């Protein structure tokens, strides 16, 4: 069995303890390794073999995930028939379900079960003054260098050396490149009409702060949450859906008493880490990264990223920031509106803000990485997406054992029609049952139901579990209850 963790990688290779077989093994598992001659490899220690094997394995893994996503309808390159468009991805029939499940789980756990948190849905385009007050027109920039020969553009902070990494050409001096997409409101493309697609959703929350406070009259601490599209004209892309130019953000602005901000920051760090553990991401693939003081964003007193071990290395999954009273104060100053909060004693103050913020696509990629498994048996390889059932796009697949037996099809259809009112259910009557199971395993469907001839007699069906592959007979009238418990 191969899965994505380093421990399993090490087990996998160390099980074949005889080191002289290592090269053969590698060629079998990672054909691209053929480029290393046996004579060179035989001198390598186990550690370097494992490291290289791991890198090769991870490169292989991302390719497999990309291919699975395309083949099974999770993710398509946007505008593909016209050659695509860098940094934009479309989510297919399964991808949209996956993203919706991530978003609704976040909404349920971050908003609905919390008495002190409410939601908001603000516009994507705001009055451009919002971005002046927030500091984005001035500071939402990346350092850019362009190659004078091939005109490729690079982030200066990611370049090693003074030459173009693509063609070796000379590079321009560093200039600051603003990542906000510009657009124009109305028919005249004049500076006065210039607006921006939002690069983060939270500013919609800050500019609605007084509206929400007036309507719900909360006590501190309280939160306002929002899910919505964000746009960033990123200079460097790559790594599939990890860094996009259009993506979906889930942000909570949690308003607290100044002086209590550090306590609440620690609270949200723990909460958010546990959120990922509850989703089934293993602890060893998650870690905190504390931003050094001198590298903090212009609004932040402290920022900690939750990083995930993606196939291309550790990278930011979610950011948790202490934004202090920066945003409310600046919007108050800029708009002339009093955005202070009046507490129980009648005292007016600017609350501090703790902000957990994450992109839906990054969570999707982490879950696909975490869940991807290949299990080799004698005949073939079973690909399994071991997604948490809460997040799996399809919950149950229903099969009639034989598609040409009307009695089986009729009974299976009755079950399908009944269950589809409660869960996202798939129907499949193509090929043999083994193939149908494998096809559902690959997209992460936790349960499959087969209606066979016995069903017509005993009113029971076979329910097969994706992870254990165990099968059990369940009475048709108990199916809903069974799945409700298993999928809770």
Q: Could you tell me the smallest distance in angstroms from the CB atom of residue 224 to ligand GAP?
A: 13
CA distances (Å), origin 275, targets 109, 280, 395, 456, 485: 9, 9, 21, 43, 20
Q: Is 178 in the site for ligand GAP (CB under 6 A)?
A: no
Partners of residue 306 on adjacent β-strands: 288, 318
By the rule CB under 6 A, 260 interacts with ligand GAP: no
Under 8 Å CB-to-CB from 84, ≥6 apart: which residues?
77, 78
Tell me: does residue 356 bind ligand GAP (CB under 6 A).
no
Classify burial at 201, counting beta carbons within 10 Å of its beta carbon; exposed 0-12, middle 13-18, buried 19 or more. buried
Alpha-carbon distance of 429 to 426, in angstroms, equals 10
Minimum Å gap between C-beta 203 and ligand GAP is 8
* Shortest separation between residue 358's beta carbon and ligand GAP, angstroms: 4
Rounded CA-CA distance 220/381 in Å is 54
What mask, x for binding ligand GAP by CB under 6 A, covers residues 188 to 227?
------------x-x-------------------------
Question: Which among 74-82, 98-106, 350-358, 396-404 is the span making contact with ligand GAP, rule CB under 6 A?
Answer: 350-358
CB of 238 vs ligand GAP, minimal distance in Å: 11
Residue 448 backbone zone (phi > 0: left; psi -120 to 50: alpha; other: beta): beta
Of 53 and 230, nearer to ligand GAP (C-beta) is: 230
d(CA 231, CA 345): 41
Q: Does 164 bind ligand GAP (CB under 6 A)?
A: no
Q: Which of the stretches 121-129, 243-251, 366-374, 443-451 binds ligand GAP when contact is defined by CB under 6 A? A: 243-251
Number of residues forming the site for ligand GAP (CB under 6 A):
19
Question: Looking at beta carbons only, is 4 or 249 nearer to ligand GAP?
Answer: 249
For residue 24, give every residue at least 6 positions away whose Cβ sits within 8 Å of its Cβ, in sequence order, or none. none
- Spatial separation of the C-alpha atoms in residues 311 and 286, rounded to whole Å: 13
* Structure tokens, 255: 């308003």
232 binds ligand GAP (CB under 6 A): yes
**How many CA atoms lie less than 13 Å away from 167 in the CB half-sphere?**
11
Distance CA 115, CA 118 (A): 8
Euclidean distance between CA atoms 140 and 180, whole angstroms: 7
Nearer to ligand GAP, 314 or 438 (CB): 314
| 327 is a contact residue toward ligand GAP (CB under 6 A) | no
Signed CA dihedral, 15, 17, 18, 20: sign only: positive
CB of 319 to ligand GAP, least distance (A): 4
**String marking each residue 360-389 x if it binds ligand GAP according to CB under 6 A:** -xx---------------------------
Contact of 300 with 292, CB cutoff 8 Å? no
Complex with ligand GAP: residue 243 or 460, whichever CB lies closer? 243
Residue of the chain from 122, 309, 357, 388 that contacts ligand GAP (CB under 6 A): 357
The interface region with ligand GAP, picked from 314-322, 396-404, 415-423, 472-480 by CB under 6 A, is 314-322
Name which position in 56, 234, 307, 418 contacts ligand GAP (CB under 6 A).
234
Q: Is 302 in the site for ligand GAP (CB under 6 A)?
A: no
For ligand GAP, the binding residue among 56, 60, 307, 316 (CB under 6 A) is: 316
The residue whose Cβ lies closest to ligand GAP is 359
Binding to ligand GAP by residue 244, rule CB under 6 A? Answer: yes
Q: How far apart are CA 104 and CA 166, in angstroms?
A: 42
Sequence-ordered list of residues with C-beta below 8 angstroms from that of 295, at least 6 positions apart, any chain: none
**Which residue from 243, 272, 331, 395 is in contact with ligand GAP, where contact means CB under 6 A?**
243
Q: Judging by DSSP bridges, how do beta strands 313-324 and 302-310 pair with one another?
A: antiparallel
CB of 359 to ligand GAP, least distance (A): 3
Contacts with ligand GAP, residue ranges (CB under 6 A): 200, 202, 232, 234, 243-244, 247, 249, 251, 316-319, 355, 357-359, 361-362
């Amino acid at each position: 069995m191969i899965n994505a963790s380093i421990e399993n990688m090490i087990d996998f290779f160390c099980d074949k303890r005889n080191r002289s077989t290592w090269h053969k093994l590698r060629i079998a598992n990672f054909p691209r390794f053929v480029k290393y001659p046996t004579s060179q490899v035989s001198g390598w220690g186990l550690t370097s073999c494992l490291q290289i094997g791991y890198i090769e394995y991870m490169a292989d893994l991302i390719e497999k995930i990309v291919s699975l996503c395309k083949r099974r309808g999770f993710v398509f390159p946007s505008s593909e028939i016209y050659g695509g468009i860098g940094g934009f991805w479309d989510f297919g029939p399964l991808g949209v379900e996956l993203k919706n499940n991530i978003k609704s789980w976040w909404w349920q756990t971050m908003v609905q079960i919390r008495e002190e948190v409410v939601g908001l849905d603000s516009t994507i385009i705001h009055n451009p003054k919002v971005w002046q007050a927030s500091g984005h027109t001035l500071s939402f920039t990346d350092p850019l260098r362009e190659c004078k020969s091939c005109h490729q553009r690079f982030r200066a902070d990611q370049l090693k050396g003074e030459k173009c990494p693509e063609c070796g050409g000379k590079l321009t001096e560093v200039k600051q490149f603003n990542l906000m997409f510009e657009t124009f409101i109305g028919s005249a493309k004049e500076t006065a009409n210039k607006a921006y697609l939002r690069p983060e959703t939270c500013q919609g929350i800050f500019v609605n702060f007084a509206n929400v406070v007036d309507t719900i009259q909360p006590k501190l601490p309280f939160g306002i949450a929002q899910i919505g599209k964000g746009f960033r004209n990123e200079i460097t892309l790559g790594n599939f859906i990890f860094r996009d130019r259009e993506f979906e953000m889930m942000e909570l602005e949690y308003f607290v008493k100044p002086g209590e901000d550090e306590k609440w920051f620690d609270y949200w760090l723990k909460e958010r880490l546990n959120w990922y553990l509850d989703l089934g991401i293993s602890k060893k693939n998650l870690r905190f990264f504390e931003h050094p003081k001198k590298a903090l964003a212009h609004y932040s007193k402290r920022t900690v990223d939750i990083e995930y071990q993606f196939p291309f290395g550790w990278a930011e999954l979610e950011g948790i920031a202490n934004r202090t009273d920066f945003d409310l104060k600046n919007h108050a100053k800029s708009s002339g509106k009093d955005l202070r909060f009046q507490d129980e004693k009648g005292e007016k103050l600017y609350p501090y803000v703790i902000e957990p913020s994450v992109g839906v696509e990054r969570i999707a990629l982490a879950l696909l990485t975490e869940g991807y498994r290949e299990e080799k048996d004698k005949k073939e390889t079973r690909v399994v997406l071991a997604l948490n059932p809460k997040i799996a796009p399809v919950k149950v697949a229903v099969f009639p054992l034989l598609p040409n037996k009307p009695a089986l099809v009729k009974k299976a259809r009755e079950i399908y029609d009944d269950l589809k009112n409660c869960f996202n259910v798939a129907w499949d009557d193509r090929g043999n049952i083994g193939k149908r199971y494998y096809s559902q395993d690959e997209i992460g469907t936790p349960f499959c139901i087969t209606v066979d001839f016995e069903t017509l007699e005993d009113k029971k069906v076979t329910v097969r579990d994706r992870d254990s592959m165990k099968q059990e007979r369940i009475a048709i009238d108990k199916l809903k209850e069974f799945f409700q418990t298993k999928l809770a």
